[in-house]
Amino acid sequence: MIQEKFKFYKPCKLLQPYIRYYWVFKSNRPLDAFTYPIGCPQIIFHKQTPLYIPELNVTQHKLTISGQVNFSSHLYADGNTEMIVVVFQPHAMSMFLNIPTSLFYNREVSGYDIENKSLNELATRIFDCENNSICISYIEKWLVSQIADNLADTTYRIKRIDAAIQRIYITPQISVNELSSIACLSKKQFERLFHSFVGINPKEYTRIVRFQKA
């Protein structure tokens, strides 16, 4: 019997400025999908067979950090798929991993390679748990714990980049000079901070938003 389930979860109120949503996908049939850049980095937990991305000639790891991408791609699976995905707000992933998001640009990186002990422990709990709603609660507890450790050091920078991103959503044609003014930073400072937090330069990001609106 062919079965396929797709479910979205909304983050708790505390996490909504940093997490866009979670989604869970289960399927026992082969997957062949074409995807477009969404402008948000992700952490992916594959409880069964990971996905293959031919454009990168890579198979995702069971724990994958997926950075910003500037190209469309195919996703393939052999028909035994179960995955839980954390979709971050464009600028937020680095505050949970303590690594610039720019390091994951156009890459699918094993989460184990960054040697984050608490993330590895979370992955173990996810892979040992059959109930995906409980898995989401584990993920939320981990995310909240990371906020407690990191928010004080990044709040003011996060707010400046978030203000620029919100303006991009409203006016995707906006110039980098205007964005840097909104963030109250010099153009050079803004571009450096945007690239570190969002993982892609401002011009590329505005192109992704324009494409999505089109």
The gap from C-alpha 80 to its chain's centroid, in whole angstroms, comes to 23
Residue 35's beta-bridge partner residues?
73
Residue 205 has pLDDT above 70, yes or no: yes
User: Is the domain of 160 the same as that of 117?
Assistant: no
User: Is the domain of 120 the same as that of 73?
Assistant: yes
Q: What's the confidence (pLDDT) of residue 148?
A: 67
User: Is the domain of 142 the same as that of 159?
Assistant: no
pTM of the model: 0.93
Q: Provide the CATH number for the domain around residue 19.
A: 2.60.120
pLDDT digits (tens, 9 = 90+) for 9-42: 999 999 999 999 999 999 999 999 999 999 999 9
User: Is the domain of 199 the same as that of 124?
Assistant: no
Three-state DSSP class for residue 151? helix
Of 148, 183, 203, which residue constitutes the final position of a domain? 148
Of 112, 129, 148, which residue constitutes the final position of a domain? 148
User: Is the domain of 109 the same as that of 182?
Assistant: no
Where b means 16+ CB within 10 Å and e means fewer, 158-174 reads bebbbebbeebeeebeb
Range of the domain at 10: 4-148
Of 128, 148, 168, which residue constitutes the final position of a domain? 148
